[in-house]
Amino acid sequence: MATPILNNEALNVREQSRDDRILLAGLGRKELADALIEFGIDPKKVRMRSKQIFHWIYNYGVTDWEAMTNIAKPLRKSLSEKFSLERPELIERQVSVDGTRKYLIRMAPGIEVESVFIPAVSKTGALCVSSQVGCTLTCKFCHTGTQKLVRNLTAREIALQVMVARDDLNEWPSSSVERKLTNIVFMGMGEPLYNTEEVAKAVDIICDREGLSFGRRRITLSTSGVVPEIVKAGQQTQAMLAISLHAANDELRTQIMPINKKYPLKDLMAACRAYPGLSNSKRITFEYVMLKGINDSPKHAKQLINLLKGIPAKVNLIPFNPWPGSPYECSDWETIETFADKINAAGYASPIRTPRGRDILAACGQLRSESEKMRASERRKLEHASADTNP
């Protein structure tokens, strides 16, 4: 079984490229400056140089040192010998009939990450990024929940998911106006608030005005309800908050989301009320997956309305997306509409989310990488290799 690495300090942020150079893409401003100091750039010029290079990497998306025309040729050459601008390996790219794109990216041996680009009908589009490989929580309706946690992703690995999508959509430079990728949602694999520090660092990189340049209100953190992290994450990121609620009474919620036992609804709602910056223009989104015969009756709708009282909120109703072996069915369309009408009549926007990318298993809750298997097979390969070389 894979050993989970929970502590990001144990990970080397300065990963090596495939040819042993240090990888720069995905690093934050400070790490980039530190790498340049270590390389030997004149300390008086580090600020200026790292600013230039940061801009080339994150505004222009360059992968070739030759493009950095405001850096003298000899310096470019020596930088290119030490540092690589390469992206991680894109193992698979699938495009759904509805235009949704799913990427499977290998960040490191055995660390495979999925992210999904969802174009909207309007001019916006969201990238659903992963914050962990696997998940420690075992929500009954979620495919990721069946995959053990392999490890937390680093800020670099989160930012790289955005860069890979930008490459694929051909949306460099960041400062160009017509971008299809406008929003980032932490709704891929994993629980972002079990990895708050790296997620917050990644948000800083993604929102840097001289770089990828996303507005903080265009970033959404989605959590299953890690109560002690909610306010802190809001302070650190100033991002929008989504709560995966799915049930409005403790008994049912604990049944389908075991985390509710540790952090029951009373505590969860108190943390929501304390979320920084809440207002009518900055509402919390409550996600509610529609499970046939489980949480979809008018009684459940009433409980939900009572629970939300006094919170600037909107409710996203998500038709359940099945996956191989999933234990639930999606509620009937009529039931979902009746539920939506009730919530709406109580004064909360309650859009029904159209499932996207179901044909390529890219819809909410369908992501589950093969990392564990990969790790096992790679380990076997290594074991064979060392057996071959051992006398």
Catalytic residues: 114, 364
Binding status of residue 126 toward ligand SAH by CB under 6 A: no
Q: What angle do CA 365, 113, 103 make, to 5 degrees?
A: 80
- What is the nearest approach in angstroms of ligand SF4 to the Cβ of residue 342? 24
269 touches, from ligand SAH, ligand SF4, none (C-beta below 5 to 8 Å by class): none
Return the range that interacts with ligand SF4 (CB under 6 A); candidates 28-36, 84-92, 116-124, 131-139: 131-139
The listed partner (ligand SAH, ligand SF4, none) that binds 54, CB under 5 to 8 Å by sort, is none
The C-alpha atoms of residue 276 and residue 240 are separated, in whole angstroms, by 10
Report if residue 268 touches ligand SAH, rule: CB under 6 A: no
User: Any idea what the Cα angle at residue 203 is, between residues 14 and 11, rounded to 5°?
Assistant: 25
Q: Which helix (H) or strand (E) holds 185?
A: strand 183-186
Instruction: Determine if 100 is a binding residue for ligand SF4 (CB under 6 A).
Output: no
Q: How many helices (H) and strands (E) does the chain have?
A: 12, 13
Q: For residue 55, give the amino acid letter.
A: H
321 binds, among ligand SF4, ligand SAH, none (CB under 5 to 8 A by kind): ligand SAH
ω into 327 cis (within 30 of 0): no
287 binds, among ligand SAH, ligand SF4, none (CB under 5 to 8 A by kind): ligand SAH
Position 223 contacts ligand SAH (CB under 6 A): yes
**Beta carbon of residue 51, minimum distance to ligand SF4 (angstroms, whole number):** 37
Query: In whole angstroms, how close is the CB of 190 to ligand SF4 at the nearest point?
Result: 6
CA neighbor of 86 nearest in space, from 197, 175, 160, 145: 160
287 near ligand SAH, rule: CB under 6 A: yes
Distance CA 107, CA 91 (A): 10
309-334 in b/e form (b: 16+ CB < 10 A) is eebbbebbbbbbbbbeebebebbeee
Binding mask 225-264 for ligand SAH (x = CB under 6 A): -------------------x--------------------
Classify strands 151-152 and 132-133 as parallel, antiparallel or unpaired.
antiparallel
| Complex with ligand SF4: residue 190 or 355, whichever CB lies closer | 190
Asked if 112 touches ligand SF4 (CB under 6 A), the answer is no
Per the CB < 8 A criterion, the answer to whether 118 and 125 are in contact is yes
Vertex 217 angle, CA 105 and 247, to 5° = 80
Judged by beta carbon, residue 112 or residue 191, the one nearer ligand SAH is 191
Distance CA 88, CA 366 (A): 23
Backbone phi, psi, residue 315, to 5°:
-115, 130
User: Can residue 142 be called a binding residue for ligand SAH (CB under 6 A)?
Assistant: yes
Within residues 148-207, the interface with ligand SF4 by CB under 6 A covers 190-191
Interaction of residue 79 with ligand SF4, rule CB under 6 A: no
72 token code pair: 């003298």
Q: How many residues bind to ligand SAH according to rule CB under 6 A?
A: 15
The entry of ligand SAH, ligand SF4, none that residue 113 binds, CB within 5 to 8 Å by partner kind: none
Q: Which residues bind ligand SAH (CB under 6 A)?
A: 141-142, 187, 191, 222-224, 244, 287, 289, 318, 320-321, 364-365
Q: Which residues bind ligand SF4 (CB under 6 A)?
A: 135, 137, 139, 142, 144-145, 190-191, 224, 244
